[in-house]
Chain A
Amino acid sequence: MRKKRKWSITPYLFIAPQLILFIIFFLIPAVVGIFAAFSKWNIYTDAAPIFNGLENFRQILTDSATSYYTMFRNGMSNTVHFVLISVPLCILVPLFMAVILSFKPWGHKFFQALFYLPNIFSISTVVLVWYYVYNRNEGLINNFLTGLLGKVVDINWLSEQPFAWTAIVIITVWWCLGGNLVIYLAAINGIPKDVMEAADIDGAGPFKRFLKITLPGIMPQISYTLILTTIGQFNLYGQSLMLTAGGPNNSTYTMMMYIRELAFGSSSVAGIAASMALMVGAVMIVVSLILNKLTAQKD
């Protein structure tokens, strides 16, 4: 005796709070954000954004007389270089560690907890912990290298390239590896034991087993973490701001730093910043689509 349910307000009451907040704090900003890219806008005045077509994009992309042109080129180039170097490391280092932990050495639970720990730190804490490590005279690294090599090592870690980027990449990997590590480890442990044992009996060594069984088995997780890590690294901000302040010579200035400064600086050129944000966003979407395509499982 099934009756067609009559319309009820109850379900809508359950979804309403989230939906209202979502519209106000996500949907509207998203739509306005796209529109603002084609406008002239100062967020500190009450004036609404003034539509100016493709003018922002013209200035940013082609007008080498404006500082926006230089900023975008520099910021984009720095950010993309950082992504290209740090993303593979943020995948490979945790993958290597996950494989090691998957052999279940004594205390593996403890090691896992320890390797994950930096993940719960804020970027400020990460930088405060590492800043003195990089110190030129009293820092850990230079003094350690001096002791190791037996001659004075005097690297200017935070204000000379390529050391400044090296420093940023090191703390990024240190900070981020825990999350991916835990994901890979769970995925590896989820591979059926008998498959591994069968391969072992067939005489496949650890390296071959990794390539033939482990790697294909955790491909969905690699794909997922690859996309998420890439998107995350495009947002590089705190490391550069706090560790090197964008220096030396703006060589560690990132896209996010420029966007933030242009939009929220005292002479707020939010339209320009929104155009840059839209372009970075578009790059992020395209890159994640490509990565998704490349790593998709062929069934």
Chain B
Amino acid sequence: MRLRTPLSDKDVRALKVGDTATIDGVIVTGRDEVHLRALELAREGRKLPVDLTGAALFHAGPIMRKEGNGWKAIAAGPTTSSRMNSMEPEFIERFGIRAVIGKGGMSQPTIDAMSKFGCAYLAFTGGAAIQGAEGIREVKGVEWLDLGMPEAMWILEVKGFGPLTVAIDAHGNSLYKRVDEEVKANLAKVRRSLGI
């Protein structure tokens, strides 16, 4: 499936757990510090430098190289999404993002927010940074570079970015929850084989 940003509620609701997708359009990076600062600004009633409505948020801290007046993406894989667990539900609600690209999955409050506001979690292979950089056609800009290269907000024009696996859909389904259940069912056997 080929997704194109900005994403609509309908686009996102059509996604089902287990689907494979790629993204064309604009994605914006944001991890710990971007979440903290963006939410702080929003709570004070101030605007973000970028409109995130319908955007795909990429949990990533890329390696960028300065080239002339611009930047080139050297390596850009996903970071561990669970660090943003406590902030993501409010981020989804306030800024209207429609997709989160990351790795490792997110907790129940985020799954609930995704289902309520129409957003999906797209898993990208952790460490697949060259593959990620190859999908980035242009670094359109950077905000909050004072946070340092990994923590800044990078605005990226992408084409065929992925492959991504729909791991949490907008209907409350999570691939990670399914795996958790399977792991729980396997536990007795695992413990037996360890003699514990």
Check if A and B associate. no
Q: Which residues of B contact A (CB under 8 A)?
A: none
Q: Which residues of A contact B (CB under 8 A)?
A: none
